[in-house]
Each structure stands twice: as C-alpha cells, then as structure tokens.
Copies of this chain bind each other. A is one copy, B any other.
C-alpha cells in the first residue's frame, strides 16, 4: 500500500496508547479505571433534552446558521460572569468559546509555537497536551514539582532561550497526579512570566470538582501583566459529548486564537453552545455541580477506603482534594506496565503513569479514575487489582 510522506511532527505518532485503552474499556466485562469520563448516568440527559427544544424555540434558526468564531454571545456573556465569581475580571473581548478546552490548548500552540520552540511543563502532565504541543514541533523543558504543584524558583533555573514560549499548567487536581498548586504560588507565578518571556497556559478542566474545603481561585485572578491564558471546560461539569469549552485571554492573544479558530472549525456547534448557555443561565449548573461533587466525593472516599483495605503496604498513593484521579506509586523496580498485563487478565484496567512523562520516567506509577465506575465496580475492581498487586509485587 502507498505510504504517504507525513509531516515530521506527526510521522511517528500512532495514537496506539489511547486506542488500546479504548479497546480495553469497550469490553463490557472489564472494570476500567482508565478514562476520565463522567459516569453516563450522571449526565443531565433529561434537562438537556428539554433544553435542546428550548434552544430551537428561543434562538430559532440562529443555532443552525453560521455563527462568529468568537462564539455564541449569550454564552460568552455568561462566561464573563462565571469567571467574575471565580475572581477573574474579564471583558467580553477577552473570551472565546472553544470546541472543548482541548481546542484551547491546540489554538494556543497554533498561535505561539514555531518548530522547535519550547514549552515548559510539569513532569508528569496531561498526556494529550504533550501530544498537541509535539504536533506543532515543540520540545519540552520541565520545572520541579512537589506536593504543592510546580516550584516557582525552579523556573528561574531553566536556561533562558528566546524560543521558550509557554508554561503549561493544570493547577487544580492535576492530571495525572491530582496535585493542586498552592495559593502563594498562584500569586507568585504571573509576576514571573514577563522576565521569563513566557505566557502561562492555565488549563482548568477540574477546578469546579472540589470535594474538600481548601480551594484556591484561578492563577488568572493574579494576572496583572496580562500573561495568563485561562482554559475552561463544560465537559467535566455538564457534558463532554457537546464539546464546549472556552479561553479567557488578553485581547491581543484572543485576536490570534480567533484566527486559528476560523481556520480550524470556523466556530463551535451553535446548538451545543446555546444548550450549554441555557443550562447555565437557567440555574441548573449549580445544583448539578453539587450533585456531581457529592457523587464523586463518595466514590473517591470509597476508592481510597477499598485501596487501603486491598493494596499491599509497599504501594502508596495520594488523597486528591478534587478532580477525577488518584495517583499510585508501586515500589521502585516494579513497573505499572507489567502490572497492567496481569490486571487485564483479571478484567481490570487503568492507565500507566509513564504515558504522562515525556522522554521516559514514571514506570512505577499508574493513574486510577474514580468518577466513571459504579460503587460496586469500584469495590470489585480495586479488590481484583489489589489481588493482582499482591501477586505481582511478591
């Protein structure tokens, strides 16, 4: 067969990891802790069904016609108010609706990166963000991280290059580690960006899924130098299938994100935008979020408790204050890849931590999702995994 000559940035990517995970999770008898999905029965199906009719009534043919690349005006206005509640003052001109917050990362890459430019990240960090930046030819530099997130002073140690462009962070309940950036670091980081000639990409899909008290506002709230771009998402709090997220950025950056978006998909599905707006403006978001948080808190607590009962003493993990993931460390010398092979035989799946490391590392780590599985599946799946661990680590 003809093998076309692909771009150098995509040529060696196979997407195989993600496809393998999907294959696993699609087998009905496998209990999967691999994905990052809401449980399907927690999706506000009835409310959104009604709202889809309402959106047609209220916005008539507007939802079916071309819209602007900036997004559906009422939704952008809602986002301004929503961000104000989080402590971020944004003008309408500083908001663009995206097709999921993932498109926000893609548009930032498109706006900022030349081939071989550098992105500064945490290690480990969000798998697909790594892939997005690689597709634009980025190479990576890493700050140090501890239990309070990235260490600001470590950014000063990174050798200065004019090709250093973006600092990418998931400050709340980081994917995959679950770590949250401390409040003092949120205040400190924006002021460092000008000297480092960086723009900070604050990717915040999990910021509203808070289960304990200690929550901090966005880094963007401290962005006096206009060097922070906030990416938000309705995927984790309403519906991932509708693909609606947003970016809040200085106007000079929004202008370029709009050009990128005109060229990527013209605009986000108008019906989806109108539905998300009606859900939020109709007062359904807050109670739905409370309900989600209660469900997810219980599942997190259950998973932690079952892990405590069944996992070997040599295995350690964190207790995340929110988000969707628990981060697990096997004893040094044991690999999560090896564990996964055995686990799959027992019909239980997770994602190995090394996927989240650029250039190797983390082979003894793994990520467990607690939002998607039912309580019964959590009990059964974690118990199975514990058994596999006892054998594998013996």
Contact = CB atoms under 8 A, between A and B. Distances in A.
A79 B241 CA distance: 21
B102 A99 contact: no
A241 B263 contact: no
A144 interface: no
Nearest to A244: B269
A49 B170 CA distance: 38
A61 B40 contact: yes
Contacts of A265: 99-100, 102-103, 106, 243, 264-265
Contact of A45 (B60, B111, B197, B225): B60
A259 B13 contact: yes
A359 interface: no
Nearest to A13: B259
A6 B112 contact: yes
A114 B57 CA distance: 46
Contacts of A4: 112, 199, 227, 250, 252-253
Nearest to A53: B53
Interface stretch (A128-136, A150-158, A339-347): A128-136
A6 B40 CA distance: 40
B2 A135 contact: no
Interface in A222-270: 225-227, 239-243, 250, 252-253, 255-256, 258-260, 262-270
Contacts of A132: 263
Contacts of A137: 115
A264 B106 contact: yes
B239 A64 contact: yes
A27 interface: no
A5 interface: yes
Interface stretch (A65-73, A281-289, A311-319, A322-330): A65-73
A315 to B, nearest CB: 29
Interface in A39-84: 40-41, 43-45, 48-49, 52-53, 56-57, 60-68
A264 B108 CA distance: 11
A140 to B, nearest CB: 16
A280 interface: no
A1 interface: yes
Contact of A242 (B45, B258, B269): B269
Q: How large is the interface on A (under 10, 10 to 19, 20 to 34, 35 or more residues)?
A: 35 or more
B64 A10 contact: no
A171 interface: no
Contacts of A117: 7
A223 B9 CA distance: 27
A178 interface: no
A332 interface: no
Which of A48, A242, A263 has the most B CB atoms < 10 Å from its CB?
A263
A43 B64 CA distance: 7
A366 interface: no
Nearest to A49: B56
Interface string A1-31: 1111111111001110010001000000000
15 contacts: A7-B114, A10-B260, A22-B68, A35-B66, A37-B66, A43-B65, A49-B56, A62-B241, A66-B240, A99-B265, A102-B263, A102-B264, A132-B263, A264-B265, A271-B275
Given A15-B258, A41-B61, A65-B241, 20 more contacts: A7-B110, A10-B110, A10-B259, A15-B259, A45-B64, A48-B64, A52-B52, A52-B56, A67-B241, A99-B264, A102-B264, A103-B265, A106-B263, A128-B263, A241-B271, A243-B268, A243-B269, A243-B270, A264-B264, A271-B271
